[in-house]
Amino acid sequence: MERPKKIKNNIRFSIESDSCSETSETQKNQDENNSCTNNNNTNNINSNENDCNKITFEKLFESIPQTTLEKIKDSKVKYAFITKGTIHSTSKQHKFKQPVSLEFAIHFLADSNVKDSTLVFINDNSLIFSNGCYDELDIFDESD
């Protein structure tokens, strides 16, 4: 004998029988086991992403093209603008007490685990990093 169908909001669904409760318990146990496995996989993925996304001095410095590096190697940095990084460093302007070398400023960015940032030199040129890599060198032109 077929069980009657109920209609709710023009959607038909069947009324579950008592035998479904056993299936529901079995399904609940499987879901719990899967969620534990998924949590472990998620933790492993997050751990791997953290390792891959870790910003290092080498990654930042080596992403700068050699021709650009030649132009700015002796320039001193006066500001570091952080637009994306760890929660405590997001949207932060850091003014160095005295202008610092490019290497020192890049170490500062790496230590802050900064993804998007701009280093401003004393001549107002800007070295821009996006997603932990060199993006562009913006040359300040007074005629603009």
Question: Which tens digit of pLDDT belongs to each residue from 10-40?
Answer: 555 445 444 444 444 555 555 555 544 444 4
| pLDDT value of position 113 | 85
| pLDDT value of position 6 | 56
State the DSSP code for 139.
Answer: -
What average pLDDT score do residues 57-68 get?
94
| pLDDT value of position 70 | 93
Helix (H) or strand (E) holding 34: helix 20-53
Q: If phi over 0 gives left and psi between -120 and 50 gives alpha, with beta otherwise, what is residue 11?
A: beta
Per-residue pLDDT band at 136 (split at 50, 70, 90)? very high
Size (the chain), residues: 144
| pLDDT value of position 32 | 53
What average pLDDT score do residues 113-124 get?
91
What average pLDDT score do residues 62-70 get?
94
